[in-house]
Amino acid sequence: MSRFDRRDAGSPSRGMLSPAPDWAGMVEVAGQRVAVDVRGPNPSLLLVNGIGGGRPMWGPLRRALPADVGTISYDAPGCGDSEPARGPLSVCDHARIAAGVVRAVGARQVDVLGFSFGGMVAQQLAREELDLVRRLVLVATGCGVGSVPGTPLAYAILASPQLMRSPAYLHHVSPYVFGGRHGRRSSDLRRLGFQHRVDSSSYLGQLHAGMSWTSLPWLRELSQPTLVMSGDNDPLVPSANARLMAGLMPDAQVHLVRGGGHLLVVDSVEQVAPVIDGFLRFAGDDAVRTDVPA
């Protein structure tokens, strides 16, 4: 793995990396040292993970997307190879880190796929960085405060960093917190890198950030074409949230994955990858709209 220390990457005038295929290293953005992967010579899709998530989770989706879809992914502070958060981080702070990562690798405009907590970060990023974010894909996510709640048991399980650290605990609780295929086959989650280093304070900080944030007052202001995806077997974020959000956004469509759980970007990748690719290539074309019938 190549490594590159990049300081003040949030400032485009200070110099940037040139996008290169299959690059991995460290960048410094907003005072945080963050681990980054770039796949493909022209990275145009930023992948923003959920609470405690690591970069390996994106492997199945990357392999399922066409080779010309270059991607940028990173470990949020305290997750995977990134250093722990240096103090509490709000959703706005996480959005600034995401923007800094994009600029650090030399990309000028990207589509953004945000999963779960990463979907909140993606919404905030789209609001703050109109010139940076071209299109949005929001997966298994909600609008924060005001969302349709999941099950109390799923919330209780998510509140423990042990979920990402203990194989035995993950195996036991997966059906109740994730649902879908991987809720029934938790061994697949370990193979996908769900057992990695997670700093407890950073993990709990992400939870707190999500519980104290909302996009409801300004969702109508997000003008980017948006695809909202949800599984109908998601204990954490019920699919009603996808309809709620898409109904408020000016240019949004919904795609519901039958049998998909919270981890539909990995447990239903055969179904979601073609829809994501079609949306990113032809957003606004009625022929590829994937709205769920009323």
The domain segmentation of the chain, as residue ranges, is 12-285
More confident residue, 10 or 273: 273
Instruction: Decide: 12 and 103 in contact? Cβ < 8 Å.
Output: yes
> At what angle are helices 91-104 and 200-211 packed, to 10 degrees?
110
Six token digits for residue 61: 């989706």
> Mean pLDDT over residues 86-100, rounded?
95
What distance in Å separates the CA atoms of residue 26 and residue 3, rounded to the nearest whole number?
A: 6
pLDDT score recorded for residue 164: 75
Helix, coil or strand: residue 38: strand
Query: Does residue 133 carry a pLDDT above 60?
Result: yes
Tell me the two tokens of residue 34. 């963050």
Bigger pLDDT: 162 vs 124 = 124
**pTM value?**
0.88
Give the mean pLDDT of 146-153.
96
- Supply the pLDDT for residue 47: 98
Looking at residue 286, what is its pLDDT?
Answer: 40
Predicted confidence at residue 3, as pLDDT, reads 34
What pLDDT is attached to residue 160? 86
The alpha carbon dihedral of 180, 184, 186, 192 has a sign of negative
Q: Which one of the listed residues 44, 116, 186, 215 is annotated catalytic?
A: 116
Annotation: CATH topology of 12-285: Rossmann fold (3.40.50)
Q: Are 49 and 38 in contact (CB under 8 A)?
A: no
> Strands (DSSP E) along 31-132, which ranges?
32-39, 43-48, 70-74, 110-115
Name the average pLDDT for the chain.
Answer: 86
The residue type of 236 is: L
Q: Which of 105, 109, 139 is nearest to 245 (CA)?
A: 139
What mean pLDDT is predicted for residues 135-154? 97
Using a pLDDT cut of 70, give the percent of the chain over it. 84
pLDDT at 191 over 70: no
Coil/strand/helix, residue 214: strand
Question: Does pLDDT of 13 surpass 60?
Answer: no
**Does the annotation count 201 as an active-site position?**
no
**In the predicted model, what is the mean pLDDT of residues 221-247?**
97
Task: Tell me the pLDDT band of 293, cut-offs 50, 70 and 90.
Answer: very low
